[in-house]
Chain A
Amino acid sequence: MKKYLLKRILFSIFALFSVVGIVMVLVYSLIDRSLIFANDPTIAKKANNELEIYKIQKYEKYGYLKYYNYDTYIASKYQAKYGDEYTTNAEYVAASKAISNEQTYLSNPDVQEFIKTYEADRFTIQLLPQKKKSNGAFLSKAYLIATKDINPITRLFKYFGEMFKFETIHDVEDPNLTDRYVRWEWDKRSNMPALVGSGTTHKYLIYFDNKFPFVHQNILKINLGKSYVTYRDVDLTEVFAQATGEALFEQQEYPNDLGTGVTHETSYDFHTVTYNSAELSPIEISMFPDRYTLPTQQHSGLSRMANSFSIGIISTILVYLFGLPLGVLMALRKDKLADKLGNFYIIFIIAVPSLAYIFMFASIGMNIFGLPYKFATAEVKFMAYILPTISLALPAIGGLMKWMRRYMIDQMNSDYVKFARSQGLSEGEIFSKHVSPNAFIYLVHGIPADILGALTGAIITERVYGVPGVGALLTDAITKSDNSLIVAMTLFYTTLTIISLIAGDLLLAKYDPRISFTQGGN
């Protein structure tokens, strides 16, 4: 069993790696990279050489290429040589001015050195010559740059290599910080213990509060890259997990006032403070006892994942609550009215495009029950969850009814049931002790997939109702060509599918003792 599980997990990791690899190679080699500048407000403000440099810097940031600038190259070289006063040094000034002249720059020894160093590493050297207007007015300075495209395979390994980041007490590069530790402390804000670090990026590594999911950690950070169109420069894990909606202001004590009862209206979540290496402002000094002064804001809504999950999990519960009994009812009343009605509904759900019936549910819910349609405009937030949940549950109920009916009928016609009946067992006993458990075997496998599937969100439903959830993220990413988000979504969806398949198999083996993973089939 353990051996099987290990083999299975190893293969799953391999599968995950291949899938993400294929998507990454395809996306980063076939999609036009200039799409990252769509919706970029900075691009309109830049011109000439500065525009080129800005673009190259962005490409570097999003992992398309490696880039070195001659200016920074000589700056670090002469700083090492002459110390901090290198800027006034004549040698440095001569070196930095050399590239302004297009004809003679190649004869400068520093330029030659720069070109030689990076050409050896197969970089492409490019001179962006000084630009002047026709009347001689200065437009933009000259740049000498070395660039090299990163191939998608290297990128893939880098992506997985940098995926998990653990916080250590050596994270903060501040020589003045001598007291580095990690220890459990009593957190006066929540009146619970908290794991507090000094020298780590976050102050609170493990803490409890009254927000979902109540226990929070900052030790392990999963790094999926940054979004660049949908949410400019925001970490993708934050896109998934950070609360949506407007900033939420609450009466809170500042960290310096903890225990005194003095409260202020603020939208900061003080548990999320990170280390500030810059000089502290007087306000920060008055608010915080230490250099951990950078909290994030709290928002009124749930996070994308919590939104998707709450809709998904409630609809899953509804599906089992209604789908199972209705499927059983259809099987018991086979070829009667209930069965025919149920079949009609099942055909409707399977055959009609899902978009059509989601809009149908939406218009019925709106016109007859007066439920809010779009998530953002709903006055009572709770009401906005009703229509998406029902729209998600109704088709799934049809699917479950179909299978439950099929399995029940198969079981009821099997020989052991006929034998049980001939032995004189009551119909109720046959149903509860023999038919139901056996019919249920087929459904057990899908339960983990249903629960984890709730996390991935529903693509159409969330888009129709404008729910800020994970499912809407994929469509957003695709329509806005947000490549890193697409790769991250592929990773997320695939990981959840793999986990739910393995969990389904394990649950099945637990439920049905006949199934074992230790014996090989033939």
Chain B
Amino acid sequence: MAEAIVKQAFDLEKVSSQSENDLFYFVESDSVSSEKITALRYSYWKSVFRIFFKKKINWFLLGLFAFILLMSIFFPLIFPYDEMENVINTDSYFLSPAVAMSKYGVSLKWLLGTGPVGNSIFYGVWASAATSIALSFVCATINMALGIVIGAVWGYNKTLDSILNVVYNIIADVPYILIVSVMVYIIGSGFFPFVIALTITGWLGIAYFFRTQVLIIRDREYNLASRCLGTPILTVVKHNILPFLTSVIMTILATELPGYISYEVFLSYIGIGLSAETPSLGQMIERAQTGFISYPWAFWAPVTVASAITVILYVLGQNLADASDPRTHM
């Protein structure tokens, strides 16, 4: 022990005999490398999709949805659906797949039999699925966009807060289903009246939810700090608040998207659905419901497709919401 200390002292003596210039040198300050963080590179959206695609079920559901989407877009283009083609032949009504094929020959068209006016169920389902998917995406886009933008402003603006609170408290007293049915009744049926009916107050609930979320995180320390540093509110909302709420947005989207398809089915069922020229799943279900015991194929085919679309959208949305929560990225 003592020996080592003596040796060290000797070494030091040796070092001190060297000139100072040999021992020290100046390090230039490097602005580029000082910006570098030595932790692993992190990209938010890359991580989201990494987590999302780690689950096998998501690949499967995404594939299934892509299949339904492509079929509903391209199938009616190649094999146009004409609901009224067999309307004159009353003996073509409600034929089971086997009977239809023996009558009209084996073809894809009669794969699911015929419906209430001799229409091909298989063709009809794809033509209708396009309408339902389009409706749900258009409504969800409008409601989410309005809801998020207005909700964010609502959370910050005091005058708007007092006005919108009154409006919200009034509208929240009325069941949504009542508003939608009365609106469809008043403005008439059709694709765009439908969109108007579903969006005229649909954004309000989302906006209110967002307002509450914004209020919760608006006054957190990091946002106060941003504001103290003079960051404009718009930037705070865009960079601090909205990213924080991404997974919340996804969760809402997961319930909104299938919701609109359900509304279309519901409204068509009670008889105020889309206009007769627009094929939709709800209408197919409505027209086949009288024969739901005797002619199950005509009823259950559109029901199955509608349910498949809604379940896929819901589960995918939920999983995307899980994946977009940064806490799962570790």
Nearest CB on A from B30, distance (A)? 47
| B262 pairs with A459, CB closer than 8 A | no
Contact pick for B270, options A18, A456, A475, A497, CB 8 Å: A475
Q: How far is the CA of A481 from the CA of B271 in the complex (A)?
A: 12
Contact pick for A351, options B177, B269, B315, CB 8 Å: B315
| A460 pairs with B266, CB closer than 8 A | yes
Interface residues of B in 68-86 (CB under 8 A from A): none
Q: Give the residue among A12, A18, A350, A494 with the most B Cβ atoms within 10 A.
A: A350
Stretch touching chain B among A19-27, A122-130, A175-183, A269-277: A19-27
Contacts A27-B182, A353-B307 aside, 9 further interface pairs with beta carbons under 8 A come to: A14-B170, A351-B314, A352-B311, A353-B262, A354-B262, A459-B266, A474-B178, A475-B181, A478-B271
Nearest CB on A from B290, distance (A)? 11
| A478 pairs with B181, CB closer than 8 A | yes
| B289 neighbours in A (Cβ, 8 Å) | 359
| A347 pairs with B311, CB closer than 8 A | yes
Q: How far is the CA of A347 from the CA of B311 in the complex (A)?
A: 7
Q: Give the residue among A26, A31, A356, A497 with the most B Cβ atoms within 10 A.
A: A356
Known: A31-B186, A498-B173. A351 touches B266 (CB 8 A): no
A363 sits at the interface (CB 8 A): yes
Nearest CB on A from B58, distance (A)? 14
Interface footprint category on B: 35 or more
Contact pick for A497, options B173, B266, B269, B303, CB 8 Å: B173
Q: Mark A389-411, 1 if CB is under 8 A from B, else 0.
A: 00000000000000000000000
| B170 pairs with A19, CB closer than 8 A | yes
| A352 neighbours in B (Cβ, 8 Å) | 307, 310-311
Interface residues of A in 1-48 (CB under 8 A from B): 11-12, 14-16, 18-19, 23, 26-27, 30-31
B242 sits at the interface (CB 8 A): no
A503 sits at the interface (CB 8 A): no
A348 sits at the interface (CB 8 A): yes
A156 sits at the interface (CB 8 A): no
| B306 pairs with A356, CB closer than 8 A | yes
Q: How far is the CA of A14 from the CA of B167 in the complex (A)?
A: 11
B313, closest chain A residue (CB): A351
Q: How far is the CA of A17 from the CA of B261 in the complex (A)?
A: 32
Q: Give the residue among A26, A351, A498 with the most B Cβ atoms within 10 A.
A: A351
| A356 pairs with B181, CB closer than 8 A | no
A463 sits at the interface (CB 8 A): yes
| A18 neighbours in B (Cβ, 8 Å) | 170
Q: How far is the CA of A315 from the CA of B170 in the complex (A)?
A: 29
A159 sits at the interface (CB 8 A): no
B255 sits at the interface (CB 8 A): yes
Between-chain CB contacts (< 8 Å), 20 pairs: A19-B173, A348-B311, A352-B310, A353-B266, A353-B307, A356-B265, A356-B306, A359-B289, A359-B292, A363-B292, A366-B293, A459-B177, A475-B181, A478-B271, A486-B182, A490-B178, A493-B178, A497-B175, A501-B172, A501-B173
| B307 neighbours in A (Cβ, 8 Å) | 351-353, 356
B101 sits at the interface (CB 8 A): no
B122 sits at the interface (CB 8 A): no
| A478 neighbours in B (Cβ, 8 Å) | 181-182, 185, 270-272
B258 sits at the interface (CB 8 A): yes
| B293 pairs with A363, CB closer than 8 A | yes
Nearest CB on B from A458, distance (A)? 11
Q: Mark B105-121, 1 if CB is under 8 A from A, else 0.
A: 00000000000000000
Q: Mark A466-501, 1 if CB is under 8 A from B, else 0.
A: 000000001100110100001001100110011001
B314, closest chain A residue (CB): A351
Known: A353-B261, A475-B271. A493 touches B182 (CB 8 A): no
Q: How far is the CA of A456 from the CA of B182 in the complex (A)?
A: 16
Known: A351-B258, A463-B269. A490 touches B182 (CB 8 A): yes
Contact pick for B269, options A11, A348, A355, A366, CB 8 Å: A355
| B303 pairs with A356, CB closer than 8 A | yes
B170, closest chain A residue (CB): A15
Q: How far is the CA of A180 from the CA of B326 in the complex (A)?
A: 79
| A479 neighbours in B (Cβ, 8 Å) | 270-272
Using a CB–CB distance below 8 Å, which chain A residues touch chain B?
11-12, 14-16, 18-19, 23, 26-27, 30-31, 347-348, 350-356, 359, 363, 366, 373, 456, 459-460, 463, 474-475, 478-479, 481, 486, 489-490, 493-494, 497-498, 501
| B303 neighbours in A (Cβ, 8 Å) | 353, 355-356, 359
B154 sits at the interface (CB 8 A): no
Nearest CB on B from A350, distance (A)? 6
Nearest CB on A from B238, distance (A)? 27
B174 sits at the interface (CB 8 A): yes
Q: How far is the CA of A355 from the CA of B299 in the complex (A)?
A: 11
B207 sits at the interface (CB 8 A): no
Q: How far is the CA of A373 from the CA of B269 in the complex (A)?
A: 18
Q: How far is the CA of A363 from the CA of B169 in the complex (A)?
A: 40
Q: How far is the CA of A489 from the CA of B307 in the complex (A)?
A: 30
A453, closest chain B residue (CB): B175
Nearest CB on B from A442, distance (A)? 16
| A493 pairs with B175, CB closer than 8 A | yes
Interface residues of B in 24-54 (CB under 8 A from A): none
Q: How far is the CA of A505 from the CA of B217 in the complex (A)?
A: 25
Q: How far is the CA of A327 from the CA of B170 in the complex (A)?
A: 33
B204 sits at the interface (CB 8 A): no
Closest 7 CB pairs of A and B: A351-B314, A353-B262, A475-B270, A479-B271, A15-B170, A351-B311, A352-B307
A486, closest chain B residue (CB): B182
Q: How far is the CA of A246 from the CA of B321 in the complex (A)?
A: 55
| B265 neighbours in A (Cβ, 8 Å) | 353, 355-356
Nearest CB on B from A67, distance (A)? 26
Q: Mark B277-303, 1 if CB is under 8 A from A, else 0.
A: 000000001000100110000010001
Nearest CB on B from A451, distance (A)? 16
Nearest CB on A from B110, distance (A)? 24
Nearest CB on A from B276, distance (A)? 14
A463, closest chain B residue (CB): B270
Q: How far is the CA of A463 from the CA of B173 in the complex (A)?
A: 24
A456, closest chain B residue (CB): B175
Known: A363-B292, A478-B272. A350 touches B255 (CB 8 A): yes
| A23 neighbours in B (Cβ, 8 Å) | 182
